[in-house]
Amino acid sequence: MMYTDWLYWLFVLAAIVLYYISPHRIRPLVLITAGISFYSYYAGFFVLLLLAEAIIAFLLIHSSLKRGKRWIYPATIMLIILVLGYFKYGSWLGSMVNSLFGFINEPSLPTVDDLILPLGISYFTFELIHYVIEKKRGNLPQHKPVGFLAFLFFFPTMVAGPIKQFQQFYPQLTAAFQWKNVRIGVLRIGIGLFKKLVLAASLDILAQPIYSPEGISGADTWTLWVSLIAYTFVIYFDFSGYSDIAIGTARLFGIVIPENFRNPYLARSIAEFWNRWHISLGSWLTRYVYFPLGGSRVSKARIYVNLMCTMTVSGMWHGAAWHFVVWGMFHGIMLCIHRFFIKEIKPLVRPVPVWLKPGTTLLAIGMTFFGVTLSRVFFVLPVSDGMDLMLRLFGLGS
């Protein structure tokens, strides 16, 4: 892991020093150079792919606005999606086609081992799509191309987010050095490292039984539940730890980036959970998938379809495999059930007495956590193994 590599932290220190001693107009170039150097070290020549994609998208969207050619805008979005689709989903789709049609004695389509996924391409893609859409809408401040590239190649967020917004990021590039930011940044990095290296690593030992079919078949129901709950917290501490490190590192540059987690396992509903978990992704999906589909301004049936579509996209964004699709649909179903209860059932039920509210709040938190924990089955395992684990959790497996 790069965060345990002392060379990485020397790189961070050097980048910070260069950033603050540079004039404001040079700072974006420092961030671009640092980002390209960082990406080249960990992912090699793929940095050229991302750089070319960014430059082409920038030229296309600005050409669209200057020349008034409306077709360039959707073509730019499609190009960005196709690049992501080829590298992230090409092998998955190729494997499915190969298994369906056989390709006997014929060259087969690329399989899962044939294509290498560029590091952080999902985050890069979503930020690039955000930029193109908001530029088209006229919501971005005036900036030069180097500001755009500094936004995309800001190395603290390139690997695991949070997903930034250009209009929040760019104005902060002129921030003066403050010791307050150093204190906050170092503390946040320390919290993130503790979450990842201590809490997540310790709980991962308890989670081992659910990582393989052999572990599942050799464990009793109680052990499987403990393992699944442990994994639920492993995911939280590991991912939120990454976010803490990214947020803290950005703060060392005087840049505040979005929070990604707000005690998600204390959510009282699945809708509230998605306002607390991977917040930057949920916000992106709401703005660029759910709302364009019509959001909640359409018929009741369409709202449920929109929820399912949005969460299916969320599942596919996490990984190119059917179990991620099932995981996303699992959350979509939970969101649909929650909406149906809030809109159709709750108005028919008498309000809960004040003295019962603490109990109902705890019940709501418990039910939400239970649903989220069950969904982790399909996040960690292929569909067939996940179904086996699901049955064994309820004493139904063989």
Which pLDDT value is given to residue 50? 95
Each residue's pLDDT tens digit in the chain (398 positions)?
A: 578 889 999 999 999 999 999 999 999 999 999 999 999 998 888 999 999 999 999 999 998 888 778 899 999 999 999 999 998 988 787 777 766 766 544 444 443 344 446 789 999 999 999 999 999 999 999 999 999 999 999 999 999 999 999 999 999 999 999 999 999 999 999 999 999 999 999 999 999 999 999 999 999 999 999 999 999 999 999 999 999 999 999 999 999 999 999 999 999 999 999 999 999 999 999 999 999 999 999 999 999 999 999 999 999 999 999 999 999 999 999 999 999 999 999 888 888 888 888 999 999 999 999 999 999 999 999 999 999 999 999 988 76
Among 318, 323, 331, 338, the one annotated catalytic: 318
pLDDT of residue 353: 87
- Please, are residues 210 and 216 in contact by the beta-carbon 8 Å criterion? yes
Evaluate if pTM is beyond 0.85.
yes
The answer to whether 310 and 291 are in contact (CB under 8 A) is no
Report d(CA 39, CA 41) in Å as an integer. 5
- Compute the distance between CA of residue 251 and CA of residue 179 in angstroms, rounded to an integer: 11
Cβ neighbours around 59 below 10 Å, total: 13
Task: Say what the pLDDT of residue 398 is.
Answer: 65
What span, in angstroms and rounded, lies between the C-alpha atoms of 66 and 64?
6
Q: Alpha-carbon distance 83 to 50, whole Å?
A: 9
- pLDDT score for 107: 46
Angle at Cα 233 formed by Cα 340 and Cα 238, nearest 5°? 115
Q: Does the active-site annotation cover 318?
A: yes
